[in-house]
């Protein structure tokens, strides 16, 4: 082989080696780029998932807070309705005490209240407007004292002579005792609307 052929052969071999090295480097480079892109995409998905979870939790907290505020506003409004209904009911008590149905039930109510005290020495206090009806209802029990009291609300109280026992049968007291169950009933009816 002549010198020029050797030189050409060396160049060709060098070019093939360089091309082979270059192709291997390109392959390595493409693998590194591909792995890097996958790693970046994995990291991006991971970050997006974490951010979505954070935003989702924040949104759920905000929704829960708004629901709480809305339920609070509804409860306050319903409580105000209950208060107005009970206030209106209390305002109707003086008329209820003069109603014939109430006066007709006095016999039974007085008899029930007198069971809790010594009936012979009992004292019944009532408003002046109710005095005649109470006296009439107690006409068969002459030892029971009836006292009209202008400070009394509607209804009556029954006590023993020593005033150690008092049976409060005022309509205001009855409304007060019934307030929790009335409030529940009013709330239930409001939900039906």
Residue 6 has pLDDT above 80, yes or no: no
The pLDDT mean for the chain works out to 87
Q: What is the pTM of this model?
A: 0.60
Tell me the pLDDT band of 12, cut-offs 50, 70 and 90. confident
Domain chopping of the chain, boundaries: 99-192
What pLDDT, on a 0 to 100 scale, did the predictor assign at position 73? 93
Q: Residues near 170 by Cβ (< 8 Å), separated by ≥ 6?
A: 152, 153, 154, 155, 156, 157
Q: For the chain, where are the alpha helices, taking DSSP H only? A: 3-98, 100-104, 106-114, 131-137, 171-192
Angle ∠(164,169,174) on CA atoms, nearest 5? 125
pLDDT tens, residue by residue, 169-185: 999 999 999 999 988 88
SS3 11: helix
**pLDDT score, position 61:** 94
> Please, what is the Cα angle at 87 between 86 and 88, to 5 degrees?
90
How far apart CA 51 and CA 12 sit, in angstroms, is: 57
The whole-number pLDDT of residue 2 equals 61
Task: Give the mean model confidence (pLDDT) for residues 101-123.
Answer: 88
pLDDT digits (tens, 9 = 90+) for 16-44: 888 888 888 888 888 888 888 898 898 89
DSSP summary character for residue 114: H
Distances (CA, A) of 162 to 11, 86, 123, 137, 166: 133, 34, 10, 23, 10
Could you give the CA distance from residue 184 to residue 19 in angstroms, rounded to a whole number? 90
d(CA 100, CA 190): 31
| Predicted confidence (pLDDT) per residue in 63-96, tens digit | 999 999 999 998 898 889 989 999 999 999 888 8
Instruction: Please report, for residues 23, 145, 163, 174, the alpha-carbon distance to residue 124 in angstroms, rounded to integers and kept in the order given.
Output: 116, 6, 11, 17
pLDDT at 7 over 60: yes
Q: What angle do CA 91, 132, 127 make, to 5 degrees?
A: 35
C-alpha dihedral sign at 7, 13, 19, 21:
negative
99-192 architecture in CATH? 2-Layer Sandwich (3.30)
Residue 66 has a pLDDT of 95
Q: Percent of the chain at pLDDT above 70?
A: 98
Residue 3 has pLDDT above 70, yes or no: no
């Amino acid at each position: 082989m002549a010198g020029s052929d050797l030189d050409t052969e060396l160049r060709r071999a060098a070019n093939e080696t360089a091309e082979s090295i270059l192709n291997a480097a390109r392959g390595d480079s493409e693998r590194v780029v591909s792995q890097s892109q996958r790693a970046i995409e994995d990291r991006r998905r991971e970050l997006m998932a974490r951010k979505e979870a954070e935003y989702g939790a924040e949104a759920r907290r905000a929704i829960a807070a708004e629901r709480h505020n809305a339920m609070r506003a509804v409860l306050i409004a319903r409580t105000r309705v209950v208060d107005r209904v009970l206030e209106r009911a209390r305002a109707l008590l003086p008329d209820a005490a003069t109603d014939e149905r109430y006066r007709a039930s006095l016999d039974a109510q007085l008899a029930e209240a007198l069971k809790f005290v010594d009936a012979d020495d009992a004292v019944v206090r009532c408003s002046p407007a109710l005095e005649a009806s109470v006296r009439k209802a107690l006409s068969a029990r002459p030892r029971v004292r009836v006292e009209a009291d202008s400070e009394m609300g509607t209804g009556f109280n029954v006590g023993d002579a020593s005033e150690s026992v008092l049976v409060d049968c005022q309509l205001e007291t009855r409304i007060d005792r019934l307030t929790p169950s009335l409030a529940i009933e009013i709330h239930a009816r409001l939900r039906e609307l």
